[in-house]
Amino acid sequence: MPPTCIMGDGLPGPLLEMLGPDFEVLPWDDSPNSPALPRAEAIIAYGHPTVDGPLMDRAPQLKVISNHGVGVDHIDVAAANTRNIPVGNTPGCLDASTADLTMALILSVARNVLVGDRYARSPEFLHYDPAILIGQEVTGSTLGIVGMGRIGKQVARRAAGFEMQILYHNRNRDVEAETELDVQYRSFNELLAESDFVALNCPLTPETTGLIGAAQFELMKPSAILINMARGPVVETDALYDALSTGQIAAAGIDVTEPEPLPRGHRLLDLENLIITPHLGSASNRTRERMARMTVDNLIAGLRGEDLPYRVQRN
């Protein structure tokens, strides 16, 4: 019996090992005359390739789409549902690692870790000067979390260790989280105005696209720090540059950009008060191992015609 054909690109070694010899991995090819699509019985969406209805229609044998990650904004789930193609993702497994990096960016930006590292390596650092690189104290400051979902709650738990006052904004108020985590609900504008740090931990949806733009930066404190662990399009790129370059806000730490990656030479790359990481939210050893396992479990279940253990439900 020939191996099952799946289409995916750049799949990591551990995931390929889990698949084993029963699968033939076809290079990602979404071109009009793709030789891979007509053969593909499954797709592993690794690295956010666009999987839309027209692509699905050119894959007549397609039985399942297994996303390596939680966010599925690059997959047309509604189109898959109308074609009876289940879509799986990896919920829950990356909450802790993404929350860890949220706090890492808060601390790194507030305490000038990256700027300090460059200075410590430079020829200018010849003696200790206690007057330089005075950062913002994290302990006891106010953190506003936009998106009190699984990741947002993990961020709140970590922030409590820094004695932060924690505000949050959700589409729907979460009274249970308020009691459990000692967090306070605010309207979106109130949260922006009151927070020393604004952490974006929301999914990318039509409602959150462009959520932070010029008008929102105007509401924030001049000393505020923005952290984006959501998706790049949640923040308007030009507005972010303007806010950082004019001192409208103090600094930012972002794990995602729009576009991603930024073109080399983009003006954001020149800013000293911005830290950019290359989409590392889930990039920890244990998390990536769990993600690979969940991706393969969804894939195999879909090929067998069984219920996916982690199916995305979206109309």
Question: Which residue, chain included where needed, has tokens 């995305």?
Answer: 312
Spatial CB neighbours of 171, under 8 Å, sequence gap ≥ 6:
207
| Residue from 101, 181, 100, 106 nearest 137 by CA | 106
Choose, from 137, 260, 272, 306, the residue flagged as catalytic.
Answer: 260
Residues forming beta bridges with residue 25, ordered by sequence position = 6
State yes or no: is 231 an active-site residue: yes
State yes or no: is 279 an active-site residue: yes
Choose, from 68, 169, 279, 288, the residue flagged as catalytic.
Answer: 279
Instruction: Output the six-digit token pair for 132.
Output: 């330089």
Instruction: Output the six-digit token pair for 80.
Output: 């898959």
Instruction: Output the six-digit token pair for 309.
Output: 């253990």
DSSP helix/strand/coil, 44? strand
Is the CB of residue 209 less than 8 Å from the CB of residue 184?
no
Choose, from 231, 236, 258, 288, the residue flagged as catalytic.
Answer: 231
Phi, psi for 189 (deg, rounded to 5)? -65, -40
Question: Which residue, chain included where needed, has tokens 């989409």?
Answer: 279
Is the CB of residue 118 less than 8 Å from the CB of residue 172?
no
Concatenated DSSP letters for 229-251?
A: -S-GGGB-HHHHHHHHHTTSSSE
Spatial distance between the Cα atoms of 307 and 304, rounded to a whole number of angstroms:
9
State yes or no: is 127 an active-site residue: no
Sign (positive/negative) of CA torsion 45, 49, 51, 57? negative
Spatial distance between the Cα atoms of 315 and 70, rounded to a whole number of angstroms:
17
- Count of positions (residues) in the chain: 315
Catalytic residues: 231, 260, 279
